[in-house]
Structure 1
């Protein structure tokens, strides 16, 4: 797929997820609706260039390069991700990850179990959560490494890292919504506390982006 097709596909998906119209994007970019329609409308007459792509990402609070990534590339499959960006991310268990989630916390690099290459473009606060326990089996098993990116918006249906205030520990769960309430859901049908209502006791650290598996 050409980069222009990838950007257009991602652009349309983000608009649908955020329930935005082309006129909303025009306002955010301070451009005429016709200009936005030319690259993002039903029948675009030109592709989304580098400059416009970065402007869209900034306006929608997406990390730089987000529109360039094929959607779902390596996302939650069992393949080892070989591509990298030259940037390394810390691998952490639940307690260290909980500390990392605090914006003002001073993170000691020695708290990371290891540092491994980021599989693709990620935000500045991205990290890798090592799964602990069996609550997310069979999709995620203990020891799996999950790239968590706080720069990505977490919506119902996404897998997220959530932190509990009482013990400052982070855990991987699926975010779900019923009516006006949001819940953290454990995939394992035998897990005793499968459904946790989102209260002040919990906060979302970031959205899960990739699963990195060792061969």
Structure 2
């Protein structure tokens, strides 16, 4: 089995881009010396947490499995295939340079409805700054507290439809009947997908693939003060 140092250096270009370790430390909430040990000290660090691996794969849009990156388990390539139905497919290399943040358009707002589906306002409303290379990225303003504590009133979720969603990640799902949901993708099995609610008010929801128009990955969220007009 390869070491975490080998796996990190495999997916990032060498020599490492300037500022990479500081950026990883920032998104993972750890110090730069800790990240340096991830890359350079196999005697001190043998693995990283799955959460840290998911943050790294998400932020840098790496098309590798977080489980493979964190623990060296399973296939390297993450290609769930049927998870993305009618969204653009990612074209992401496994070695990437640092990308700059950019302004992502806010395309509307969403609020959790009493039936578990979203109610939407599609009026564009400025931009938010976010770190992503997805040219199709957009943001949605959260209204109300139905998705608390993960998403709070006034925050923005950033959606990256060109990046394949993974089980365990939040997604925006549009059904063929026009209804939408903001849920956690639980699994895809055969011709069905199952979604989990962000709060505990609703149980799992299972749909046939032919009921689903598209599934778009939620990359993250930013605060209410991030809005740029």
Quickly name the TM-score band, shorter chain normalised: 0.5 to 0.7
Whole-angstrom distance in 2 between the partners of 1:140 and 1:128: 13
Match of 1:156 among 167, 186, 190: 167
Q: CA deviation at 1:178?
A: 7.2
Match of 1:3 among 11, 17, 20: 17
Q: CA deviation at 1:195?
A: 1.5
Partner of 1:198: 207
Q: CA deviation at 1:163?
A: 1.4
Whole-angstrom distance in 2 between the partners of 1:197 and 1:210: 24
Whole-angstrom distance in 2 between the partners of 1:149 and 1:14: 14
Relative to its length, the structure with more helix (as a share) is 1
Partner of 2:101: 84
Whole-angstrom distance in 2 between the partners of 1:66 and 1:173: 30
CA RMSD of aligned residues (A): 3.9
How high is the TM-score relative to the length of structure 2? 0.50
Partner of 2:4: none
Relative to its length, the structure with more strand (as a share) is 2
Whether the aligned pair in 1 keeps the contact of 2:139 and 2:156 (CA below 8 Å) is yes
Residue ranges of structure 2 left out of the alignment (5+ in a row): 1-11, 25-38, 40-55, 69-73, 78-88, 111-119
1:175 has 2:185 as partner:
yes
SS of residue paired to 1:124: coil
Q: CA deviation at 1:208?
A: 0.8
Of 176-185 and 142-151, the range deviating more from structure 2: 176-185
SS of residue paired to 2:184: strand
Match of 1:207 among 195, 203, 217: 217
Whole-angstrom distance in 1 between the partners of 2:94 and 2:139: 19
SS of residue paired to 1:92: strand
Whole-angstrom distance in 2 between the partners of 1:130 and 1:179: 31
Report 1:45-194 matches (<5 A): 61-62=90-91, 67-68=96-97, 84-85=101-102, 87-94=103-110, 95=120, 111-117=123-129, 119-166=130-177, 168-177=178-187, 180=190, 181-189=192-200, 191=201, 193-194=202-203
Residue ranges of structure 1 left out of the alignment (5+ in a row): 23-59, 71-82, 98-110
Label 1:138 to 1:65 Cα distance change in 2 as closer, same or farther (>3 A): same
Whole-angstrom distance in 2 between the partners of 1:135 and 1:203: 24
C-alpha offsets along residues 45-84 of structure 1, whole Å, 9 cap, x if unaligned?
Answer: xxxxxxxxxxxxxxx83458983359xxxxxxxxxxxx73
Label 1:140 to 1:162 Cα distance change in 2 as closer, same or farther (>3 A): same
Label 1:113 to 1:194 Cα distance change in 2 as closer, same or farther (>3 A): farther
